[in-house]
Amino acid sequence: MSAPITIQSFETLIVDLPTIRPHKLAMHTMHGQTLVILRIRCSDGIVGIGEATTIGGLAYAGESPESIKINIDTWFAPLLIGQDATNLNAAMQRVDRGIRGNTFARSGVETALLDAQGKRLGLPVAEVLGGRVRDGVEVAWTLASGDTGRDIDEAEQMLDRRRHRHFKLKIGAGDVARDIAHVAAIKKALGERASVRVDINQAWSEAVAISASRRLAEAGVELIEQPLSRFDRAGMARLNAHSPIPLMADEAIESVPDSFALAQLGVAPIFALKIAKTGGPRAVLRTAAIAEAAGIGLYGGTMLEGSVGTLASAHAFATLDKLEWHTELFGPLLLTEDILVEAPLYRDFQLMIPTTPGLGLELDEQRLARFARR
């Protein structure tokens, strides 16, 4: 009888990468992106790669790059070293019993274990998760310069290059009338060639959102993402009943149980799926199953991960029966540098999903060393 294959060691790196431009959200403006890259080494020589990434330090969520690294090194690693590397259910159940919350760190760990298992079996992660039903996922682009003319020019370039035909605008931090005029001008310029969505990042009150939703509908906007505080479930449900365009829940989904409660209350007809928010690629599929059972549409969200986290998300989203609202897996395109030997492939408005074992990627060790925080 052969010896069991066990988890031997963890290595976590904080990696700071530059972005092509500032990225403006309601709660924070990003001038770069910080990733936590994880490597899990197993006794059969296989190394699984994962990523845990958040936005703006602690501006978005309760985990920061620094806390993710410390908690993986201090708590996750001791729990899992010596455990069976081939049994993901047992490994993640052990994490569930020993660690509360920390879904971003948990996602990085689950991703690395899936990558290792795929390499071990000679299968892409999508196939480990049950099998892909699509070879690529369509990707929206966020126009976040805040300048109307510049955003229109950027959208036109994306359409010409066949890179994106769905555009999301980050509004909510400024004057409401000015924000809506900005969105309306962009939609008018793009016409029927592209869809336009808005993300409020929880910045509006219910009263503001009631009026604004009507004006955005008149402008041709197709959805409003998280207009109210993630804690205001009753307000979201009331707004959802009256809004002429659909709402999408994003920050309100902090866990798989959250998604069940939101579905019960009818807060939104669309859910944004994020592996970091639910605890990994397998975990995000549980939220997707809840949404599908409740007749809620699905959108593949991002925490602006780099290439590792983006491809992990894509493998999970490739297995979904329906992905009506597509994805926003553009994180790597926001970065001026990649840490992979071959960057993810974007073509014909889609991110193509690798067909090689595991996540289908190889780290560029020189670039990783160059950008890793000392």
Q: Is the backbone of residue 122 left (phi > 0), alpha (psi -120 to 50) or beta?
A: left
Q: Is the backbone of residue 372 left (phi > 0), alpha (psi -120 to 50) or beta?
A: beta
**Contact by Cβ (8 Å): 240, 268:** yes
**Contact by Cβ (8 Å): 188, 180:** no
Nearest one of 195, 199, 240, 241 to 220, comparing CA atoms: 195
Q: Is the backbone of residue 348 left (phi > 0), alpha (psi -120 to 50) or beta?
A: left
**Contact by Cβ (8 Å): 259, 271:** yes
| Residues tagged active-site | 170, 328
CA angle in degrees (0–180, nearest 5) for 205-140-114: 100
Q: What's the rounded Cα separation, in Å, for the pair 290 and 259?
A: 7
Q: What's the rounded Cα separation, in Å, for the pair 165 and 328?
A: 11
What is the SS3 assignment for 164?
coil
Provide the token pair at 57: 């330090």
What is the SS3 assignment for 134?
coil
Q: What's the rounded Cα separation, in Å, for the pair 162 and 59?
A: 33
Considering just the CA atoms, what is the radius of gyration of the chain in Å? 20
**Contact by Cβ (8 Å): 108, 76:** no
Q: Which residues contact 363 (CB under 8 A, 6 or more apart)?
A: 37, 49, 339, 340, 341
Provide the token pair at 173: 């931090």
Beta strands 29-42; 7-24: pairing state: antiparallel
How many C-beta atoms surround the C-beta of residue 7 within 10 A?
Answer: 24
Question: Tokens 């991002």 label which residue?
Answer: 302
